[in-house]
Structure 1
Amino acid sequence: MDRTDSIYCIDKHTNRIILILAIIIASFITGVIAWHMNLTAQAKLQEHLAQEVLRFHILANSDSEEDQALKMDVKEQVLAFLKNSMPDGMDVEETEEWMRRNTDKLEETGKKTILLAGKDYPVSAAVTTCYFPEKTYGDVTFPAGNYKALRIEIGAAKGHNWWCVLYPNLCFTDATNAVVPEEGKEELKNVLTEEEYSKVTAQLNFKIKWYFLDKFDPDTRR
């Protein structure tokens, strides 16, 4: 092989490396753009959802088996009170205002349930803004972000929590099989665009994660 052939081989090899690097860089840039667009779309969806829903958040006194069971008893009694007492046909703003006017009755419902169990934990109820991680209710997934919620705290409120969506009603009708009411999903569909509704009810999880992150589910913590 003469000198000309050697130079030609080197140039050909160099060009191949440059092409591979160019493809890698282009793929990385495309991925970053797609990632950014996905985050932007998720943020817009979350902002709209936050204006249209009212969530329910109840925190147990502790993680003891007894306190966790008591939390579920309080949850059941509060939901029963809401079902029997809330007027029909309210929108999200009216629902929120009704909750604010009736926090004392919600606290009383919780306290009675706790006293019947032989405990004397204090109970506080308030409509407030809370951060929620991504959460799935049956086949409806809400992106992470800040949402208004009826928040009930039992005692020290340091235990695992429970939550659902009060408006529209997505609290499980069948908790064992994670079945949410069809009426609630229809109400949600009415306040979202067709594209937004298809995103929150998608069966596939499109959330982007770095592959090296450990799996961690914070939605059962405070």
Structure 2
Amino acid sequence: MKGLFLTLEGPEGAGKSTQARLLAEWYEGRGREVVLTREPGGTALGLELRQLLLTQPMQPETEFLLYTADRAEHAAKVIRPALARGAVVISDRWLDSSLAYQGYGRGLRLDWLRAVSAGVVGDLRPDLTFLLTVPPRLGLWRARHRRSSDEPDRLEAEALAFHQRVLQGFLALARQEPERFVLVDAEKPVAEAVQRRIQKVLLERGLV
């Protein structure tokens, strides 16, 4: 059976992790092997990089390169082997997040981000990307209220204007690749309704 690579993208508080988990359960119920993963943090090294990325101040270029190092490990040790054996890989974030956050959000050149990334992930590309959209102000409220700590992570602590640029970046990326991106309105807090929309698209496209 052919492997399938699905990603969930979106701003803070869009519910990506919840939807990724529900989607993994759905595929497992249909008899598929599922690898549920995330960026950063999909490998042992990635977990250490995640702690640095979410807590330590750094230059935008450094931030992108650390995300790219995580992605290199993630692709080589998790995603490619799973796809090779026919599994469904569901990743909470992938390269599009770097383009949206470090490119549109931080102002780094997109052509540089893409060139560096191409040297790391090659032709590895999601079969389908679900872009969960939510107004940044609402998304940040959700993200900060679901945390056990009162301290937001470094990205959540960014100004609202930064998160607005990130969302606009995601939408721009979706316009550039309409065949890969599926926009999903995640503003309403009913996770099951969002999941039904995702499953409907997958069934219609025969990606089961």
Tell me, yes or no, whether TM beats 0.5.
no
| CA radius of gyration, larger in | 1
Say which structure, 1 or 2, has more relative contact order (CA 8 Å, 6+ apart): 2
TM-score by length of 2: 0.32
* Bigger strand fraction: 1
